[in-house]
Amino acid sequence: MKNIVIPIFLLASVLTSYSQSNGNIKKGYAFYTISVPGVQMADENGNPIPPKVDIGRFIYIECCGTGKPVIEKVLYDNKILSATLNAVKGSAVIPGSELSKNNEFKITAKKGNSLWKVELQIPGTDPMPEQDCKNIVIKYKVKGKTRILKLVKETHLMTMPRY
């Protein structure tokens, strides 16, 4: 009987060690907003200049525990975007503006997890990647190892008109 109990105990401890999460970030939710200026500009000859579309991007991530994740890179269609990480107060958030029709999206962290908002900007003068991106990669570090989280869906949120 002793020969059976010891291997079962060792097997159980090995299996529970593999059941731990493979990274700090559990889930990610990518969003973008589009705003276009309301007044069309004109050049010195009176020809209209097409308005420039302003695309704003952010990602909510759910992480194990309350520790701040270490994000190395965020790639949108293989273009590197600079990321700013902010903690979300509470365990639930409705992304976007409360004044728009974004109430159908609600992100809730599981017990023991925390939510973080990753705000994305373009570095330098490069253009922002096109809207509705399908290839989003977050590279982050956990215990000295680089992990990758891939997101395949980006949700468009409505914004208030801009003038």
| Partner residues linked to 45 by β-bridges | none
Among candidate residues 63, 61, 37, 161, the one with its CA nearest the CA of residue 119:
61
* pLDDT interval class at 10 (50, 70, 90): low
Sign of CA dihedral 156, 163, 99, 120: positive
Chain-centroid distance, C-alpha 72: 13
Q: Where are the domains of the chain?
A: 22-157
132-153 pLDDT, tens digit per residue, is 888 999 999 988 899 999 999 8
**Prediction pTM value:** 0.76
